[in-house]
Structure 1
């Protein structure tokens, strides 16, 4: 694994979170997304982020990881900048699909990036509902790779879904 992380420290308490760039880096978003697609068996997923400069890179890598997860061909619906309420609404409107919300908080001199994962019912993914499995896959360097180009998913903007909210 290039640029390993302390998975027990970063992937816990219902989220993926760490100080950037010391504890977490953009590659982690790719790993988490690919593993989450496989663990949740997601054919589709909604993804949103805050408007923080650091989060933008994590969001891009997350979406790329989600569309490159083995043979799943996941359709990623990106909402762009949205909050949790908007993400949960979009997840329901898209047919009860899993989702992810990425955000960065400036705490002192180093930003803290957080990725929150949600199941298809809009509930946060917890230890016993997939987070432990995601952590284990990353810790054991078992991040799923794409089988071939035909197995690759797509990233589509669906910002218009949130108009009027």
Structure 2
């Protein structure tokens, strides 16, 4: 990562939290999402955000990272602005797909990662593996263009 983050400090407690721009920057969202897809071996993901202007760049890069994760061709279902309860319901409707939600409060950015059961990701093995992949700069890029996923509005996927 060109601008590394302190993975042990930032990636914890079910996701990633840090002050922008000191501890967390938008490019970290790309890495976190790509590593999340690879760690959970997921080909579908539901994503949401809180609608705050500061969240937009993090959210965009999070979606891009998720569709560029090795050979998973992850379909990212964009729920848009949604709270945690709405995201968990959408995840269940999407055949128990994992999910991610980006929020900001002041200068704190939080990316919460949810497992297939709709609970924040556990430390072992998932968060530990994501933290190690990022710290060791193991980039989970697609192996070819056919392996790249796509982003679509959740409402279109639910039809």
Does the 8 Å contact 2:14/2:114 carry over to 1?
no
Q: Structure 1: how far apart are the matches of 2:65 and 2:112?
A: 15
Does the 8 Å contact 1:70/1:151 carry over to 2?
yes
Residue 56 of structure 1 pairs with residue 32 of structure 2: no
Matched positions, count: 158
State the TM-score, normalizing by the size of structure 2: 0.95
Of 31-40 and 5-14, more deviation after overlay is shown by 5-14
Q: What is the aligned partner in structure 1 of residue 145 from structure 2?
A: 149
Summarize deviations over 1:50-99 as a string: whole Å, max 9, x none.
01111111111000000000110000001010000000000000111000
Structure 2: tracts of 5 or more residues without a match: none
Does the 8 Å contact 1:80/1:159 carry over to 2?
no
Structure 1: tracts of 5 or more residues without a match: none
Q: What is the aligned partner in structure 2 of residue 130 from structure 1?
A: 126
Q: What is the aligned partner in structure 2 of residue 121 from structure 1?
A: 117
Q: Structure 2: how far apart are the matches of 1:82 and 1:160?
A: 16
Summarize deviations over 1:134-157 as a string: whole Å, max 9, x none.
000000001201111110001000
Deviation at 1:12, TM superposition (A): 1.4
Equivalent residues in 2 for 1:18-29, closer than 5 Å: 18-29=18-29
Does the 8 Å contact 2:30/2:62 carry over to 1?
yes
SS in structure 2 of the partner of residue 60 of structure 1: helix
Q: CA RMSD in A?
A: 1.4
Structure 1 ranges of 4+ moved more than 2 A: 159-162
Deviation at 1:13, TM superposition (A): 2.1
Q: Structure 1: how far apart are the matches of 2:155 and 2:110?
A: 21
